[in-house]
Amino acid sequence: MMCDAHVHRLEARSGSRFRFPERIARPDAIDAISWGWEGFAKMSHRILVVDDNDDTREVMSLYLTIEGFTVIVARDGNEGSEAAVRESPDLVITDARMPNLDGIEMTRQLRAQSRFKQLPIIIVTGFGSGLEREAWQAGANEVLIKPVSPDSLVTRIRALLS
């Protein structure tokens, strides 16, 4: 895909007429050019993001998409478990504490299934070391403490997927 971006100064005078093409470029191409996102179109690895906080889910999804991942989202451990079975993600990022089924219990349930024994799982917590230990015991590959830097999250994801 090749796109050129040009900036011109236009002066409109009385009676001026303008014609614009119906379609200049795909929106994702414009975004990729505007922001210089390498790998924008390389949606290779599928990541399941499980978090009950809408803003956290949205921001994490956006950042991971920009980094070239395909993102699947779920609002709690129940939805996360269902999405894992349905979508077969390459990696899961889950909040530790959520209503209904939390991320630690979801991790235990996924690890109990043979198809998810090797699935990389990152548990993110804003709480203390008591949950960190519980997360490791549940089968997490990584336990990260909030706030998590987007760059360090992507570094950990890439390490787990390599």
**Structural contact between residues 107 and 139, judged by C-beta atoms closer than 8 angstroms:** yes
- The closest of 137, 85, 130 to 107, measured between CA atoms, is 137
Give the model's pLDDT for residue 127: 63
User: Between the CA of residue 112 and those of 6, 49, 80, 106, 117, what are the distances in Å?
Assistant: 55, 20, 15, 10, 7
Give the model's pLDDT for residue 147: 87
Give the model's pLDDT for residue 109: 97
Which residue numbers in the chain have pLDDT < 70? 1-43, 127-129
List beta partners, residue 145: 125
In one letter, which amino acid is 37? Answer: W
Give the model's pLDDT for residue 130: 72
What the chain holds in terms of domains, given with CATH numbers, is 45-161 (3.40.50.2300)
Give the model's pLDDT for residue 32: 42
